[in-house]
């Protein structure tokens, strides 16, 4: 179903709930995996995905359609991920390195993480990146998004995103070859 059709259903009081359920079905899995790549833990990702869709439901009337619905939802998801990670660091007074250690241990012990040794090594290398670099890398490498799409979601210039991606790739290469 096209975004316009979803929005028409959501904006009609008689079909609002049905339209929103269709929206959740259309975007839930992509949002979950976007969140999961950032926060690693399945339960945190599930909770955060629910919170994101609660925000989408609350603010959908404010969506101006000057971007794609997908972009708007991803922007909310991205901001929620970064806020969650910041709160987690503050709540547990974790220095950046300790947060990486905690997330890395979740990677090792999670029954929801599958993959060979190389994939696990890549995921652990990603955890060593600053949150925003990891976000840009995930969106470009795993989600195959263009710099323009990422720019719209993160409200960051294309040049800055290219630099972040380049630095992230270089760090990952260094970590994987060390």
Q: What residues does each domain of the chain span?
A: 3-177
> 74: how many CB neighbours lie within 10 A of its CB?
25
For domain 3-177, the CATH class is: mainly alpha
Q: Residues, the chain, total? A: 178
List of the chain residues with pLDDT < 70: 92-116
Residue 150 burial by Cβ neighbours in a 10 Å radius (0-12, 13-18, 19+): buried
Residue 34: the pLDDT is: 95
Residue 124: the pLDDT is: 86
Residue 109 burial by Cβ neighbours in a 10 Å radius (0-12, 13-18, 19+): exposed
77 contacts: CB under 8 Å, gap ≥ 6: 31, 34, 35, 49, 52
Residue 3: the pLDDT is: 92
Give Cα separations from 105 to 8, 29, 36, 113 (angstroms). Answer: 45, 24, 15, 12
Residue linked to tokens 């995103």: 161
């Amino acid at each position: 179903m096209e975004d316009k059709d979803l929005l028409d259903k959501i904006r009609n009081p008689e079909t609002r709930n049905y339209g929103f359920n269709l929206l959740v079905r259309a975007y839930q899995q992509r949002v979950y995996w976007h969140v999961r790549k950032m926060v690693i833990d399945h339960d945190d990702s599930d909770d955060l995905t629910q919170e994101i869709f609660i925000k989408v439901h609350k603010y959908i009337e404010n969506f101006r359609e000057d971007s794609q619905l997908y972009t708007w939802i991803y922007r909310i998801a991205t901001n929620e991920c970064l806020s969650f990670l910041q709160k987690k660091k503050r709540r547990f007074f974790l220095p950046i390195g300790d947060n990486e250690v905690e997330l890395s241990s979740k990677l090792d012990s999670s029954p929801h993480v599958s993959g060979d040794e190389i994939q696990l090594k890549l995921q652990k290398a990603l955890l060593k990146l600053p949150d925003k670099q990891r976000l840009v890398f995930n969106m470009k490498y795993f989600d195959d998004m263009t710099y323009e799409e990422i720019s719209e979601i993160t409200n960051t210039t294309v040049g800055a995103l290219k630099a972040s991606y380049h630095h992230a790739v270089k760090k990952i290469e260094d970590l994987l070859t060390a």
